[in-house]
Structure 1
C-alpha cells in the first residue's frame, strides 16, 4: 500500500508537487521514539543528555528509521504537566542538532507554544496526543506548513485511565478522528495522520476492538499511525509486568497493524521494527518496505538516495 503526506514547506524525502511537498512511501514506516524526559514510562532519563539523545538518533537512522519523534513531556497515565519553557529546553537542542540530518523530525507535544518553537527550530511534523483540540495548535501547524498527527484520547494523561467508557469505541474513536481531521484541514493544516490512541483512555477490550477494526480506519483517505510500544495492554495479554520487556509483544501488535494497512508504527525498539517489517513484506510477496522519498534503495539497513530530485 502506498501512503502520502503533504507538507507546506520542504521536508526530507519529499517531492515538490502543485499541492506542496509530498512525502510518499510504501508499507509501514517506522517512527523511532526519542524521549528526552526524565520520567517516561519505559525509558525515562536514558536520553535526557544531549549526547545520549544524538547517539540514539544516529543508531536509529543507520538502521533505516525515517522519522524521529522527539518528546519533552511524558504522557504516561498520571503524568504531571511540564511547563512549556522546560519542555522547550529539552527538545530544542536535539532538534537543532538533527535538523540538517536526512530524517523527518516529529515533536510529541500538546502545547502550541512548544510546537511553534519546535517548528521554527527545524521540526517538520507535530504529534499531538490531544488531537488538535486547541484551535491555536491548528493555527501553529497551518502557519508553519506542518502536517500533524491527530490522536484520540479520552480525558488527559492524569485522568485518562481512571474509568474509560464508550458506548461503541470503534464508532466513537473513528468518528472523532475523522471530524478532527476535517477541522484541521479546514483550518489550513496541510495534512494529517490519524492515531486511534492505543492505551490513551481505553481498557484492554477497547484497545483490542480498535486494533481489530484497523482496516476500517486505514481504508480512509488519511495515513494511520499506531503506537502500542511497550504499553500496559501487552502485560494484560501476555503477563509482562516490566515495560522494557514488552518489545516482542510490541512487534506482534505493530506487524498486525502493518498488515491492516497502517502507514506508520511508533516504537522504542525501532531498529528491530525496521527489520521485522522488511521480513514481513518479503514473506507477503511484495517488495521490502520502502521508506519515503523517490526511488530510494536499501543496503544493510542504511538508506541511500539515487539522483532523483527531492526537497
Structure 2
C-alpha cells in the first residue's frame, strides 16, 4: 500500500504516511491544528501509530529530508486550509443534505416517497427545516439491492428533480449511471453524487466532465450494492479508504474536473463491517488531506443499530445525531440525513 502522490517518499527511503487531526482545532477552518496522529507504513500490511503535537510533527518532517517535509507540508496545508465554495455553497460552515429516495426498496424509507408528488412535498419540507441540499435517488443502494434500469431510474427522479429545482433547491442526483446523470442535470440537478466514485459506469467520468457539475465521490468495496457486503476486508480501513479516494480524485483531476468541484465520502456502510465503520468515524478528519470537502452519510445505518441494539432504522435518530456531531467535530462540511429538522437543531446547538 503506497500513499497516493507520495512516490517521492519511497524513492527517498521514507515509508508512506497518513495524517489524522486529533484536536486543538477543526480541519478546513483555516487555522492550525495542534494535535496529530501519524500513521507510518512499516511493513507490507503494518501501520505504526504515533501521536504528537504539530510542532513535533513539523520538526520531525524537516529533519527527515526534503521529500518527507514536502509531503507533510502539503498534507497539513490541505487538511487545515479553507475550502472554496462547492456548488455555490459556503464550505466554511456545515450543511445538511436531505435524503429524498424515490424508491420502493430503500433500507430506511423505501416506499415512503415513491410517488413523485409525495417526494416533492417531502423535499420542500426538508428545505423549510433547514436543508441546503436535497439528494434525490431512484435506485436503492442498500446491501443486496437489485439494480434498476437507467430508464426506470430516470422516470422516477426527473419529475422530482425538475419540480424541486424550479422551487430553488440545490439538488444532487444520487446515481451511478451516466445517462441518469445527463437526464438529471437537464432537469435541474446541480451536483452528481455517485456511490461508485464514477467507476460503476465506463461513461460516468466522461459524462461528468461534459456536464461540468460538481461531483461527490464515495468509497465502496465491491462492484455494486449486491456484492459490497460480501466479506469486506481491509489491511487498515481508514488508510485503504483514503488511498482509494485519493486515486479517484487524481483520476478526476486528470480528466479535467477541478479539485474545488470534488467532494469525498468515506462510504459508511458500503462494503464495511461495524469495526471498519467505527474506525472510519474516528478518523474522518484525515480525509481533509485530499483537499476536498467531506460528506458523511451515516444516517440510520445498520452499524448504528448494531452498536446501539436498535433493529429498526427509523428508531436510530439518537445514534444518527451522534454520528453527525462526530463528523462536525472533525470538520465534515456536509452530512447526508433522513431527519433534517432534528439534525439542524443539533447543529445549531453544537455551533452555539
TM-score bin (small chain): 0.7 to 0.9
1:169 pairs with 2:237: yes
Retained in 2: the 8 A contact 1:218–1:260? no
Instruction: Please tell me whether residue 152 in structure 1 is matched to residue 219 in structure 2.
Output: yes
Distance 2:184 2:127 in 1: 20
Q: Please point out which of 140, 159, 165 is paired with 1:93.
A: 159
1:218 aligns with 2:288: yes
Aligned-pair CA distance for 1:219: 4.1
Aligned equivalents of 2:182 and 2:245: distance in 1?
23
Partner of 2:326: 256
Distance across 2 between alignment mates of 1:184 and 1:226: 20
Following superposition, which runs of at least 4 residues in structure 1 exceed 4 angstroms of deviation? none
Report the secondary structure of 1:42's partner residue: coil
Instruction: State yes or no: 1:50 paired with 2:50.
Output: no
Which residue of 96, 107, 115 corresponds with 2:173? 107
User: Is the partner of 1:194 in helix, strand or coil?
Assistant: strand
Alignment TM-score, normalising by the size of structure 1? 0.83
Which moves more between the two structures, 210-219 or 60-69?
A: 210-219
Query: Structure 1 residues 96 and 74, CA, compared in 2 at 3 Å: closer, same or farther?
Result: same
Cα offsets for 1:196-240 (capped at 9, x unmatched): 100000001111111111121124410000001101101111000
Give TM-score, length-normalised by structure 2.
Answer: 0.74
2:271 counterpart of 1:201: yes
| Secondary structure of 2:84's aligned partner | strand
Greater relative contact order, per chain length (Cα 8 Å cut-off, separation 6+): 1
User: Cα RMSD over matched residues?
Assistant: 1.3
Q: Secondary structure at the match of 1:171?
A: helix
Q: Which has the higher helix share?
A: 2
Bigger Cα displacement from structure 2, 92-101 vs 243-252: 92-101
In structure 2, what is the Cα distance between the partners aligned to 1:104 and 1:200?
Answer: 25
Whole-angstrom CA distance in 2 between matches of 1:169 and 1:271 = 32
- Residue 166 of structure 2 aligns to a residue whose secondary structure is coil
**Count of residue correspondences:** 268
Determine which structure has more spread, i.e. the larger CA radius of gyration: 2
Task: Name the CA distance, whole Å, in 2 between partners of 1:26 and 1:281.
Answer: 13
1:178 corresponds to which of 237, 240, 246: 246
Q: Which runs of 5+ in 1 are unaligned?
A: 8-13, 15-22, 283-311
Q: Distance in 2 between matches of 1:25 and 1:6?
A: 7
Structure 2 gap segments, 5+ residues each: 1-28, 30-81
The alpha-carbon deviation at position 36 of structure 1 amounts to: 0.4
